[in-house]
């Protein structure tokens, strides 16, 4: 486990706000040991959970293709991190619409040949789910 992962886990456990799943934090991304050491990138997002604090997307670099990645969205929840679910794309925009108190996120996919596809991710009460493609 890389140092960034250990630091994040230590912060989460110290807050006593969430628990690490039995299958392990890194397996949340569906990676195998032969995929190599985990490399995470933290991407800042606008406030998604309504606490007026910026939230973030944690991306495992091994999940990225040429342009698109999958990442786990975390809300700061007034200082107590909360996993909100997985989203996919190359870039993300937090929208003003909310469902179950969590803002929708638009994910833009780069498809090659300068084509894009846009997906809408909404919070279903438990985690982010994809509503389907939108017109770019």
Q: Where are the domains of the chain?
A: 3-134
pTM higher than the cut 0.75: no
pLDDT tens-digit readout, 84-134: 988 988 889 999 999 999 999 999 988 878 788 899 999 999 999 998 666
Taking residue 29's Cβ as centre, other Cβ atoms within 10 Å add up to 19
pLDDT tens-digit readout, 51-71: 888 888 888 777 777 778 888
Confidence bin at 8 (pLDDT 50/70/90): low
Report the range out of 21-25, 27-31, 114-118 with the highest average pLDDT. Answer: 114-118
- The CA distance from 23 to 7, in Å, is 18
């Amino acid at each position: 486990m890389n140092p960034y992962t250990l630091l994040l886990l230590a912060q989460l456990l110290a807050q006593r706000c969430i628990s690490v799943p039995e299958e392990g934090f890194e397996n949340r991304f569906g990676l195998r040991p032969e995929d190599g050491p985990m490399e995470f990138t933290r991407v800042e997002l606008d406030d998604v959970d309504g606490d007026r604090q910026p939230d973030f997307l944690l991306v495992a670099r091994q999940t990225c293709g040429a342009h698109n990645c999958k990442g786990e969205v975390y809300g700061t929840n007034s200082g107590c991190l909360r996993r909100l679910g997985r989203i996919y794309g190359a870039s993300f925009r937090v929208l003003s619409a909310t469902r179950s108190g969590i803002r929708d996120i638009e994910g833009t996919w780069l498809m090659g040949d300068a084509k894009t596809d846009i997906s809408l991710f909404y919070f279903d009460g438990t985690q982010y789910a994809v509503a389907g493609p939108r017109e770019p």
